Amino acid sequence: MTSRVIVYVDGFNLYRGALQNGPDKWLNLEQYFRMLRRADDLRRIHYFTALVRSPGSAQRQTDYLRALATTEIVKVQLGSFRMKDVVCGVGGCCHAGSRRFAVPSEKRTDVQIALQLFEDAVEDRADIFVLVSGDSDLVPAVQRIRSRAPKKRIVVYVPARDPDRSAAVELRAAATAARDLPLHLLKRAQFPPELPDGHGGWICKPADW
């Protein structure tokens, strides 16, 4: 019997771990996960992110979210950014340990992922839950689901291009199975440079992507 699958993508974790320094940012998530999980019944892809504020990045993100909206099974869930104070920790800087800076910090994403995972497990919406992240904050949710619904499988794919990010020891240990996210598939699952938005207009790939 074909397994029902729901995918949960930590958007910023995916971007920073696998996409940021590469040429494959214009990623069609539905196409990618259909290739990755060919034998499964892919029911839904939840994409969790927050709206960025800098003008250039905000426009690129808006274009990408519009592209995702043209796919059938991707659902975008938005968190938010809040400003927090951090102390300069740059070695050799005269302000190290003293000067404070306000920097944006992403909020709610891990909570939203955990709640969606738990709800889908309790409501028996899938047999396999694919989690794309390396965030250890998700460990309690994974452990709780495996305890409450032992027949459900949680498969973690860690998005990473370097060994430090790839480790994700706690999250890998908590899951039913864990793997590195296959990077070779990224270039095979790109949106076309221009695609119709479904309303008579076009969505264009950002020029520097």
**Domain CATH code at residue 133:** 3.40.50.1010
Euclidean distance between CA atoms 28 and 43, whole angstroms: 16
CA distance 45 to 7: 5
E-assigned strand segments in the chain: 4-10, 41-49, 74-78, 80-87, 100-107, 128-132, 153-158, 177-180, 194-196, 202-204
In-domain check, residue 192? yes
Task: Classify residue 120: in a domain, yes or no.
Answer: yes
Q: 1 lies in a domain?
A: no
CA distance 151 to 154: 10
Q: Exposure pattern of 32-65 as b/e (b: 16+ CB <10 Å)?
A: bbeebbeebebebbbbbbbebeeeeeeebbebbb
| Per-residue pLDDT tens digits for 23-58 | 999 999 999 999 999 999 999 999 999 999 888 899
Is the confidence at residue 103, as pLDDT, over 50?
Answer: no
Contact 138, 114 (CB under 8 A): yes
Q: What is the pLDDT of residue 22?
A: 94
pLDDT-derived band at 163 (thresholds 50, 70, 90) equals confident
Q: What is the pLDDT of residue 100?
A: 60
C-alpha separations of 5 from 40, 59, 86 in Å: 7, 31, 40
| 3 in a structural domain | no
pLDDT at residue 87 above 80? Answer: no
Number of compact structural domains in the chain: 1
Instruction: Look up the pTM and report it.
Output: 0.87
- Asked whether the predicted pLDDT for residue 104 surpasses 70, the reply is no
Contacts of 42 (CB under 8 A, 6+ apart): 5, 7, 30, 33, 34, 73
Show the domain range for 152: 9-204
